[in-house]
């Protein structure tokens, strides 16, 4: 099979803490914006992934406050398709064994208790609900969702993370995971940090290549969505992903 890859340009970025500097002292942040206060007042769903990790980590280290520590950990976790070994987490600067154990325990408990199994994808909004927490990343994430024959979710993975001005998407990496999962169908999604739901020529090209490869592999390509923190744009809904 011909080696396929495409560069997808990404847009201006936003920080996971939505404009708050990671070098900022904790007590310089208005009390209503602090993670614990936000959770108490608005519930855990109102927090970004970085803020949730900041609560879990609790403290930083000298020269690296808890916000910076959370952002570093978030980037590390985004690059791992499965739960990393505790020893790998502990190697991160400022984490250590105790925090690494807490992080791994949180991830494993969440997987056991609230995994994505039996969640069905019937509409682009279902995809959005599964990936929207990636919308606050300052670089694009290209995400793949493996589905079974009943369109229930088997796995949700970050395939690639954007560089300074583009995201390198390798279809072979998407299909390697799908084959490993024995998936019958799949969806893909990527965030636009700029907040603009505009489909680029590069987005269209990678969608066409994935569709051609899916037809060859016999795996149903359901949809590709572009998403921001508040909304989504679907190739299928907008007539750019037609059945062949």
Q: What is the DSSP string of 84-140?
A: PPHHHHHTSTTTHHHHHHHHHHHHHHHHHHH-STT-B--SHHHHHHHHGGGTT-SS-
pLDDT at 215 exceeding the cut of 70: yes
Cβ neighbours, 10 Å, residue 102: 16
The pLDDT value recorded for residue 17 is 43
CATH architecture of 6-11+117-234: 3-Layer(aba) Sandwich (3.40)
Q: What is the pLDDT of residues 218-243, one digit of tens each?
A: 999 999 999 999 999 999 999 998 76
What is the tens place of the pLDDT at every residue in 62-93? 888 898 999 999 999 988 878 899 999 999 99
**pLDDT bracket for residue 2 (50, 70, 90):** very low
Q: Mean pLDDT across the stretch 101-113? A: 88
Helix/strand/coil for 83: coil
Characterise 214 by phi-psi region: left (phi > 0), alpha (psi -120 to 50), beta (else): alpha
Joined together, the tokens standing for residue 214 give 């899916």
Quick one: pLDDT at residue 244?
60
Phi then psi for residue 210, to 5 deg, are -65, -40
pLDDT for the residue numbered 154:
92
Q: Is the pLDDT assigned to residue 7 strictly greater than 90?
A: no
Which pLDDT belongs to residue 11? 42
Residue 117, pLDDT score: 64
* Distance (Å, whole) CA 194 – CA 138: 9
pLDDT tens, 182-201? 999 999 999 998 888 989 88
Q: What is the pLDDT of residues 20-67, one digit of tens each?
A: 455 445 556 677 678 889 999 999 988 899 999 999 998 888 888 898
Mind listing the pLDDT tens digit for each residue in 117-154? 678 999 999 999 999 999 988 889 999 999 999 999 99
The DSSP bridge pattern shows strands 167-169 and 185-191 to be unpaired
Place 106 in a pLDDT band, splitting at 50, 70 and 90: very high
């Amino acid at each position: 099979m011909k080696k396929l890859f495409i560069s997808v340009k990404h847009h201006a970025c936003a920080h996971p803490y939505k404009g708050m500097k990671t070098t900022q002292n904790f007590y310089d942040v208005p009390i209503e914006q602090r993670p614990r206060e936000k959770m108490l007042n608005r519930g855990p769903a109102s927090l970004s992934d970085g803020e949730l990790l900041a609560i879990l980590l609790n403290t930083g280290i000298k020269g690296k406050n808890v916000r910076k520590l959370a952002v570093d950990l978030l980037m590390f976790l985004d690059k791992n398709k499965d739960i990393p070994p505790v020893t790998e987490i502990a190697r991160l600067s400022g984490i250590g064994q105790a925090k690494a154990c807490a992080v791994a325990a949180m991830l494993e408990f969440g997987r056991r208790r609230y995994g994505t199994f039996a969640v069905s994808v019937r509409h682009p909004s279902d995809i959005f609900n599964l990936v929207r927490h990636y919308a606050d990343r300052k670089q694009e994430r290209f995400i793949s969702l493996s589905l079974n024959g009943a369109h229930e979710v088997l796995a949700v993975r970050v395939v690639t993370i954007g560089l300074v001005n583009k995201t390198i998407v390798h279809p072979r990496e998407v299909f390697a995971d799908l084959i490993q999962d024995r998936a019958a169908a799949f969806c893909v999604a990527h965030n636009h940090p700029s907040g603009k739901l505009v489909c680029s020529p590069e987005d269209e090209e990678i969608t066409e290549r994935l569709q051609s490869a899916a037809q060859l592999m016999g795996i149903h390509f359901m949809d590709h969505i572009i998403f921001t923190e508040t909304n989504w744009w679907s190739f299928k809904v907008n007539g750019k992903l037609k059945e062949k």
